[in-house]
Structure 1
Amino acid sequence: MASQRTRIKDVASIEGIRDNQLIGYGIVVGLKGTGDTQQTVFPIQTLLSTLERMGITVPQTGNNSASNMQVKNMAAVFVVSTLPPFSRPGEKLDITVSSAGDARSLEGGLLLMTPLYGPDGQIYAQGQGPLVLGGYQVTANGNSRQVNHPTTARIPGGALVERSVPFDLKQMKTVSVILTDADFHTAERMAGAINAELKTERAHVVDSRRVEIAAKPEEDLPALLDQIEAVQIDVYPRARVVVNERTGTVVIGGKVRLQPVSILHGGLSVNVVTETKVSQPNAFAQGTTQVVQQTTVQAQDKPVNRIELKEGATVEDLVQELQQIGATARDVISILQGMKEAGALEADLEVL
């Protein structure tokens, strides 16, 4: 079994030292008529609430009431961010802003101060700033041009941390190292390498993903974690084929092995074409003009393509054979699934 040598830091994490997801709701202003329409109610409610906090009261009746407001230069958005471990108040975070209503574009927008909440309902950061888009949408005279998604944007360093997540390394009695990919073989090798580095038998395997190291009283835990993460171990990656049926993408790992197999691949293509024609009666006839549909059914049975893989065949051989028969991405996905069922594909087949 082929292995690769890497640091523990690259294939595992320390339990308790983790990122935290943040989410908030706010409004983006300064749009050029591409904001939410009047049919989206909650942006108006958000605007009224913001104005009230600033001492501005909008009448509820009359021509200038809230029901008659037509604000097209603002949009309601959800704001998300990730709070890294050991973040302190005053640090900056990148945030992502996405439209929550029917706004056409967030180009040129400015996010007003938005509190970002953690899973416990507490405010951990405040976001605000001008948006940076990776796309655009232009509409003129009934024609439109769009690149990427103009309703999602980012603000680099757009949030300030207001509260840190309480976590004290000194309270850790046991250091738990969690493997990214569960594997008993790798876990055993990792525990052995840690014991060899520490020159004690302090690390032991709990399961296929967890290795625990007992911490000594008054031990310098940051120094211990630094020593553990720098240890190099032999990792045995699992052979895996990843298939995305929505996009037709197939990624085959280099560790994938193939068994001798013969593949027959063909298909029956059926096309149903409907044409609409107008039947016009003669000038002196008593008939009326009718729309007539003419349907044509075409069937084409494609010849069967054969692929034969002998013992010792590699993934490169399979790809070359598939290219020679003109297989599409959808064909490759079907063939790989069939090979997995036949036992000719020695890898985990993961379908996204």
Structure 2
Amino acid sequence: MRVALLVILAAFWGAMGQAAPVRIKDLANVEGVRGNDLVGYGLVVGLNGSGDSLRNSPFTEEIMAGLLERLGVNVTDEAFRPKNVAAVIVTATLPPFARSGSQIGVNVAAIGDAKSLLGGTLVMTPLNAADGEIYAVAQGSVLAGGVEASGEAASVVQGVPTTGTIPSGARVEREVAFDFSQMTNIRLALRNPDFTTAARVEAAINRDLGSGLAELIDSGTIAIDSSTLGKVNPARLIGRIENISVEPENSARVVIDHKSGTIVIGEDVRIDRVAVSQGNLTLRVREAPIVSQPNPFAPGDTVVLPRSQAEITQEPGIGFAEVSGETSLSDVVAGLNALGIRPRDMIDVLKAIHAAGALHAEFIVN
């Protein structure tokens, strides 16, 4: 089954005209205000026979023995082989300014040979940051990301049942020390660095809040000096800045995903004058050998005579289509699409136009 998807955003952008203004909070981050990654390992229990086989995952038995001993159960020299336990890695992101007692979501993934985490419960799992300190503790029922069913001779799997999530499944136990109220020099970092966009952000801030407040450092950084406003709360200042609207400048870009056949085209993509021809050749070779043997009691040997059939077929192509210069690539793709060019073949056409030097855009292939 051929799965292909063609996404053309330029046609919609062209109908809208110029890009709509965007808030600064959607374009930039405040330097230093970020999340921190957390990770831990633990056990998911209560599985319906779909857990780790302890022979192939000995670390599961070690984790389980350590947990039971901490709970006062002595399992030394005991031979237990439960099938309802799975060892997992738990990951989460600690948001900026998260306070003790707040809850965050976690992701759970099996690290052994468990078949499914469906219906399991994560036992209390400490989550560590890069400094080795525990910042949160996770526990709760796992929402698995798929379904697995099996019988004696067949099995079916939909999605990925060995991963799951626990919404609000971790409670923050330690806060990250960061006093934002004492900051006087604040820097904004653009998510997509661009000199034009950065200059517009600088001009918009100085226009709305006073000249000299913002200074352009480079294509991705704008410095904010709050001392020019006297005594001001930095949080209130950022709250005003992030709601200022700016019209961003987007780079011409074509993004292609080979796996799904997706093509995304930016509004500003242009091509030079070029001629395009596309068609497919298919070569088929069939072998149908003939066995020849002598009559009964007649001298001779049985031989195999090769017989091959070869044919070449050519699917209808578009011939040569000439495209004038300064044409929007969305118009070219729309024309090729109207001629019945499949998205997979469209990718080859765009790659050939780029190789010819006629495509003026950043070409990204995933």
What is the TM-score of this pair, normalised by structure 2?
Answer: 0.83
> How far does residue 320 in structure 1 lie from its aligned partner after superposition?
3.0
- Call closer, same or farther: CA 1:298–1:36 in 2, change over 3 Å: farther
Task: Give the alignment partner of residue 56 of structure 1, picking from 61, 73, 80.
Answer: 73
Which residue number in structure 2 is paired with residue 245 of structure 1? 258
Q: Given that residues 2 and 236 in structure 1 are in contact (C-alpha distance below 8 angstroms), is that contact kept between their aligned partners in structure 2?
A: no
State yes or no: 1:47 paired with 2:64: yes
2:283, 2:130 → 1: CA distance? Answer: 52
Which residue number in structure 1 is paired with residue 345 of structure 2? 331
1:30, 1:297 → 2: CA distance? Answer: 61
- Secondary structure of the equivalent of 2:222? strand
Which residue number in structure 2 is paired with residue 178 of structure 1? 189
- Secondary structure of the equivalent of 2:247? strand
Task: Give the alignment partner of residue 257 of structure 1, picking from 270, 276, 279.
Answer: 270
1:10, 1:275 → 2: CA distance? Answer: 66
Task: Give the alignment partner of residue 196 of structure 1, picking from 191, 207, 217.
Answer: 207
State yes or no: 1:131 paired with 2:142: yes
Tell me the C-alpha RMSD between the 2 structures. 2.9
> How far does residue 298 in structure 1 lie from its aligned partner after superposition?
6.0
2:243, 2:266 → 1: CA distance? Answer: 26
Instruction: State the AA in 2 paired with 1:328.
Output: R
Instruction: State the AA in 1 paired with 2:84.
Output: N
> How far does residue 313 in structure 1 lie from its aligned partner after superposition?
3.5
2:286, 2:45 → 1: CA distance? Answer: 49
Q: Given that residues 24 and 79 in structure 1 are in contact (C-alpha distance below 8 angstroms), is that contact kept between their aligned partners in structure 2?
A: yes
> How far does residue 274 in structure 1 lie from its aligned partner after superposition?
8.3
Instruction: State the AA in 2 paired with 1:319.
Output: V
> How far does residue 302 in structure 1 lie from its aligned partner after superposition?
4.2
Q: Given that residues 28 and 189 in structure 2 are in contact (C-alpha distance below 8 angstroms), is that contact kept between their aligned partners in structure 1?
A: yes
- Call closer, same or farther: CA 1:170–1:264 in 2, change over 3 Å: same
Q: Given that residues 4 and 236 in structure 1 are in contact (C-alpha distance below 8 angstroms), is that contact kept between their aligned partners in structure 2?
A: no
Give deviations 1:70-108, integer Å, cap 9, x for gaps: 221111111111111100011111111111111111111
Which residue number in structure 2 is paired with residue 95 of structure 1? 106
- Secondary structure of the equivalent of 1:340? helix
> How far does residue 324 in structure 1 lie from its aligned partner after superposition?
3.9
Give deviations 1:123-154, integer Å, cap 9, x for gaps: 11111000112320111232222221111111
> How far does residue 201 in structure 1 lie from its aligned partner after superposition?
1.0
> How far does residue 318 in structure 1 lie from its aligned partner after superposition?
2.5
- Call closer, same or farther: CA 1:266–1:106 in 2, change over 3 Å: same
Q: Given that residues 203 and 213 in structure 1 are in contact (C-alpha distance below 8 angstroms), is that contact kept between their aligned partners in structure 2?
A: yes
> Which range moved further: 141-150 or 71-80?
141-150
Task: Give the alignment partner of residue 268 of structure 1, picking from 281, 303, 324.
Answer: 281
- Call closer, same or farther: CA 1:275–1:83 in 2, change over 3 Å: farther
- Secondary structure of the equivalent of 1:108? coil
Q: Given that residues 52 and 112 in structure 2 are in contact (C-alpha distance below 8 angstroms), is that contact kept between their aligned partners in structure 1?
A: yes
Which residue number in structure 2 is paired with residue 341 of structure 1? 355
Which blocks of at least 5 consecutive residues in structure 2 are unaligned?
Answer: 1-16, 290-305
- Secondary structure of the equivalent of 2:189? strand
Which residue number in structure 1 is paired with residue 33 of structure 2? 17
> Which range moved further: 216-225 or 309-318?
309-318
Which residue number in structure 2 is paired with residue 26 of structure 1? 42
Which residue number in structure 2 is paired with residue 225 of structure 1? 238
- Call closer, same or farther: CA 1:297–1:132 in 2, change over 3 Å: farther
- How many residues get paired? 336
Which blocks of at least 5 consecutive residues in structure 1 are unaligned?
Answer: 277-292
- Call closer, same or farther: CA 1:16–1:147 in 2, change over 3 Å: same
Which residue number in structure 1 is paired with residue 173 of structure 2? 162
1:103, 1:272 → 2: CA distance? Answer: 46
Instruction: State the AA in 2 paired with 1:14.
Output: V
Give deviations 1:172-206, integer Å, cap 9, x for gaps: 23110111111111111111111111223121111
> Which range moved further: 225-234 or 341-350?
341-350
State yes or no: 1:351 paired with 2:365: yes
1:295, 1:43 → 2: CA distance? Answer: 59
> How far does residue 231 in structure 1 lie from its aligned partner after superposition?
1.4
Give deviations 1:221-242, integer Å, cap 9, x for gaps: 1111112111111211122221
What is the TM-score of this pair, normalised by structure 1?
Answer: 0.86
- Call closer, same or farther: CA 1:46–1:317 in 2, change over 3 Å: same
Q: Given that residues 97 and 153 in structure 1 are in contact (C-alpha distance below 8 angstroms), is that contact kept between their aligned partners in structure 2?
A: yes
- Call closer, same or farther: CA 1:109–1:311 in 2, change over 3 Å: same
- Call closer, same or farther: CA 1:207–1:333 in 2, change over 3 Å: same
Q: Given that residues 305 and 325 in structure 1 are in contact (C-alpha distance below 8 angstroms), is that contact kept between their aligned partners in structure 2?
A: yes
Give deviations 1:243-269, integer Å, cap 9, x for gaps: 112232222233323333211223333
2:62, 2:92 → 1: CA distance? Answer: 24
- Call closer, same or farther: CA 1:294–1:96 in 2, change over 3 Å: farther
Q: Given that residues 181 and 235 in structure 2 are in contact (C-alpha distance below 8 angstroms), is that contact kept between their aligned partners in structure 1?
A: no
Task: Give the alignment partner of residue 215 of structure 1, picking from 182, 205, 226.
Answer: 226
> Which range moved further: 175-184 or 163-172?
163-172
